[in-house]
Amino acid sequence: MLCDPIQSRRLFEHALDNNYAILAANADSHAAVTDCLKAAKLCDAPLIIETSLWQLEGHSYGAGDAIRGLARYIADLAVLADSPEYRSIPVVLHTDHIKGPETMEILSAAIRGIPVTITGNSTTLRASTVSLDASEFSDEENIAAISRLAAIAVESNVDVTLEMESAVDEGITPEEVTRNLIGSVEEKYPNAVCLYAPGLGTRHGFSAEGYPEFNSETVQRNIRMLKEITGRDIGLALHGSSGLSSGDLRDAAQAGVVKVNWSTESLMIRSRGAMTFYEDNAAKLDRSHGDWKVTAMDNGVQSHISPAYVDKVSERMRIINSEGKASDFAQTPGA
């Protein structure tokens, strides 16, 4: 079931209350989306699918037009997530790492909804939750941008659930920065921000030496501080999880991380899977070979990649304690 902004917010609260995190897979293709849903179904785990500017503008989705890409991404995901096979799995569609001059235009569309017409029937496609890439913003620019997104929702009379981030690759975010960022938005737009991504000592990409700065006490301290500032229970989003050990991931979920972003390792598994498929089957890609068509078709390479990828996604879902939580969430009021 593809969640709306309010269902998504309840799901994050459920994760925080029950000491688990939800895997947020940056799914780079239609096939990756399918495999993430397969893993979620296998684990009975909620799932966040993230899409970033590079997919929205990329060849498989928007082909140069990010808003068209977002509509295509949501439509594809909605068909799958609301199909009988996957309806029991709560799925959140989150916009991640949107940056650059088109940011507000893309995110306004994600919040208000993108009108589409399918054989004469009109509908509106909305993201479940929204964040932007604040890595090049000052704190004041970050506050202004998040406040603007909250204002767009108010003006359009729609719900919004936002993630706010702070210099996620630059060490541990100082307490006064969090107080300023979250406090300033909360004052004007209470309840809009429901996920916070502070710097926790991790970084995007792989890390050979791990992240010695990462510590679940930092997570707990942030959760306490967010409660003090807003009066609400707000869970954390963890960026840069690919280089984190299983033990640290488990502790993070236990301590209050509710969303674990996962992208680098996902790309590596899929691209290496494709490489071995084409290497192993190079001789079949010859017109004289009886299997050349089944080898050449997209289904060939994607079916080869799928088992190892589904295994890895399932493994991460188990590490962050989300196994069985889709059914648990379905039993909560308002799910």
| Secondary structure (DSSP) of 73-105 | HHHHHHHHHTSTTTTTS-EEEEE-S--STTHHH
Nearer to Zn ion, 110 or 114 (CB): 110
Stretch that binds Zn ion, among 15-23, 211-219, 231-239, 290-298 (CB under 5 A): 231-239
Q: How far is the CB of 84 from Zn ion (least distance, A)?
A: 33
Q: Does 72 bind Zn ion (CB under 5 A)?
A: no
- For residue 57 the two structure tokens come to 């503008």
Separation between Cα atoms, residue 326 and residue 46, nearest integer Å: 5
Q: Smaller CB distance to Zn ion: residue 169 or 298?
A: 169
Closest distance to Zn ion from the beta carbon of 126 (Å): 22
- Rounded to a whole number of angstroms, the minimum distance from the CB of residue 196 to Zn ion is 13
User: 84 — phi, psi (to 5°)?
Assistant: -50, -35
Stretch that binds Zn ion, among 40-48, 228-236, 237-245, 288-296 (CB under 5 A): 237-245
Binding mask 95-134 for Zn ion (x = CB under 5 A): ----------------------------------------
Give the x-and-dash track for 254-293 against Zn ion (CB under 5 A): -------x--------------------------------
Q: How far is the CB of 124 from Zn ion (least distance, A)?
A: 27
Shortest distance, position 113 Cβ to Zn ion, whole Å = 25
What is the spatial distance between Cα 44 and Cα 192, in angstroms, rounded to a whole number? 28
> Rounded to whole angstroms, how far apart are CA atoms 108 and 54?
18
Residue nearest to Zn ion (CB): 239
Nearer to Zn ion, 1 or 252 (CB): 252
* Cβ distance to Zn ion smaller for residue 88 or 264: 264
What span, in angstroms and rounded, lies between the C-alpha atoms of 126 and 143? 23
List, as one string, the DSSP characters of 239-292: ---TTS-HHHHHHHHHHTEEEEEE-HHHHHHHHHHHHHHHHHTGGGSSTTSTTH
Residue bearing tokens 């017109």: 287
Q: Which position among 239, 250, 259, 304 is part of the footprint of Zn ion (CB under 5 A)?
A: 239
Return d(Cα 25, Cα 276) in angstroms, integer.
23
Total count of residues recorded for the chain = 335
What is the contact surface with Zn ion in residues (CB under 5 A)? Answer: 239, 261
